């Protein structure tokens, strides 16, 4: 049977690596993104070069109508079998007392509301079973003091969403798991105001270096795939020991 998988935030970073990896594993893909059309098209071209089908959809995952467009695109490829809830944002690193309300709202909207909206659409469509992987963060258990506690709290909500959904959807053959990356080399750190964070943080990571997007993509591919057929409700830490 064809695997049809949606990767939100599939144009860059962890999502892009995941889309490429899943194409190699035989998935047809819907690649969601918000603004960077060229990046998403470049990933889609790589998926097609690997012999799989790919469509890109510009859609803000915080908006239910736009989310529906991503899933409508998947319907045109075939029955949906997988969702990687990955589109996420941080906000400028700094003390809790400096947090701006608009940054708080965006972080909660994208990292939590967006994940819920996408998981809901997936659960409605996966009538023959399927798998969802939520991209959480090691921040969920570390708390990120002095950096972005609100982001850590939103990611902790992702973990709870994973546990609850796994139980609710198990009778329908839908597995729900999460990965919790540590510090991974992507553009997300520039948005936090510390583009060199993967290098400056290396000394406090037990494995002595930041992770690469491909190393997270491998964990996501495992949780989506048949080797994880008895795994649901798990949060797999991919954080170099953090
Ligand atoms: P990234 O390189 O900044 O890429 C983020 C992707 O998400 C982009 O494709 C972006 O689209 C998309 N996106 C952002 N907001 C969106 C929205 N509202 N609607 C739709 N798409 C949206 O980020 P990343 O580092 O790969 O992070 C991916 C996930 O891993 C996030 O959930 C993040 O919280 C989590 N994570 C990352 C790290 C890390 O160190 N990198 C660690 C732990 C967890 P555009 O390209 O169009 O902007």
pLDDT at 191 over 90: no
pLDDT at 1 over 90: no
Share of the chain above pLDDT 70, in %: 100
Show the ligand 1 pocket: residues with CB < 6 angstroms.
8-9, 11-15, 32-36, 39, 60-62, 86-89, 110, 114, 135, 137, 181, 183-184, 186-188
pLDDT at 157 over 80: yes
Asked, for residue 14, whether it belongs to a domain, the answer is yes
Which range of residues forms the domain containing residue 119? 3-237
Specify the CATH number for the domain of residue 202: 3.40.50.720
DSSP letter at 171 equals G
Q: What is the DSSP string of 182-237?
A: -SBSSTHHHHTT-TTHHHHTGGGSTTSS-B-HHHHHHHHHHHHSGGGTT--S-EEE
Give the confidence band of 233 by pLDDT, cuts at 50, 70, 90.
Answer: very high
Q: What are the start-end ranges of the H helices in 126-176?
A: 139-142, 149-169
Q: What is the pLDDT of residue 24?
A: 98
pLDDT (mean) for 35-42: 98
Asked, for residue 208, whether it belongs to a domain, the answer is yes
Q: Can you tell me the distance from the alpha carbon of 237 to that of 240, in angstroms, rounded to the nearest whole number?
A: 8
**Which residue in this structure is represented by tokens 């850590």?**
152
Domain count, the chain: 1
Asked about 115 being catalytic, the answer comes back as: no
Which run of H or E residues covers position 179?
A: strand 174-181
Asked, for residue 164, whether it belongs to a domain, the answer is yes
Q: Which of 33, 115, 148, 151 is catalytic?
A: 151
pLDDT (mean) for 212-239: 98
Q: How far does residue 149's CA lie from ligand 1's centre (Å)? A: 17
Asked, for residue 35, whether it belongs to a domain, the answer is yes
Structure tokens that stand for 134 in this block: 């939520």
15: nearest Cα among 184, 165, 225, 195: 184
Q: What is the pLDDT of residue 2?
A: 84
8: nearest Cα among 53, 56, 79: 56
Q: What is the pLDDT of residue 42?
A: 98
Q: How far does residue 127's CA lie from ligand 1's centre (Å)? A: 28
Give the confidence band of 173 by pLDDT, cuts at 50, 70, 90.
Answer: very high
Q: What is the pLDDT of residue 155?
A: 98
User: In this structure, which residue's CA is closest to atom 9 in ligand 1?
Assistant: 9
Q: What is the pLDDT of residue 159?
A: 98
User: In this structure, which residue's CA is closest to atom 2 in ligand 1?
Assistant: 13
Asked, for residue 179, whether it belongs to a domain, the answer is yes
Q: How far does residue 171's CA lie from ligand 1's centre (Å)? A: 31
Asked, for residue 242, whether it belongs to a domain, the answer is no
pLDDT (mean) for 112-134: 98
pLDDT at 48 over 90: yes
Model confidence over 194-211: pLDDT tens digits? 999 999 999 999 999 999
Asked, for residue 76, whether it belongs to a domain, the answer is yes
- Give the chain's mean pLDDT: 97
């Amino acid at each position: 049977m064809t695997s049809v998988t949606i990767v939100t935030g599939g144009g860059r970073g962890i999502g892009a690596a995941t889309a490429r990896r899943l194409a190699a594993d035989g998935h047809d893909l819907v690649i969601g993104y918000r603004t960077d059309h060229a990046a998403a098209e470049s990933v889609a071209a790589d998926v097609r070069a690997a012999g799989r089908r790919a469509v890109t959809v510009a859609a803000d995952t915080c908006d239910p109508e736009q989310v529906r467009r991503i899933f409508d695109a998947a319907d045109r490829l075939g029955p949906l079998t997988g969702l990687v809830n990955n589109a996420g944002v941080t906000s400028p690193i700094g003390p809790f007392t400096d947090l701006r309300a608009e940054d708080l709202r965006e972080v909660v909207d994208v990292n939590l509301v967006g994940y819920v909206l996408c998981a809901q659409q997936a659960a409605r469509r996966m009538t023959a079973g399927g798998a969802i992987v939520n991209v959480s963060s090691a921040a969920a258990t570390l708390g990120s003091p002095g950096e972005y506690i609100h982001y850590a709290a939103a990611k902790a909500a992702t973990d709870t969403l994973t546990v609850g959904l796994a139980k609710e959807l198990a009778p329908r053959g839908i597995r729900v798991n999460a990965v919790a990356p540590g510090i991974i080399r992507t553009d997300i750190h520039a948005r936090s105001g510390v583009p060199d964070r993967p290098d400056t943080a290396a000394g406090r990571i037990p494995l002595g270096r930041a992770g690469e997007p491909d190393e997270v993509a491998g964990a996501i591919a495992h949780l989506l795939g048949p080797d994880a057929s008895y795994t649901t409700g798990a949060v797999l830490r991919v954080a170099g020991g953090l």
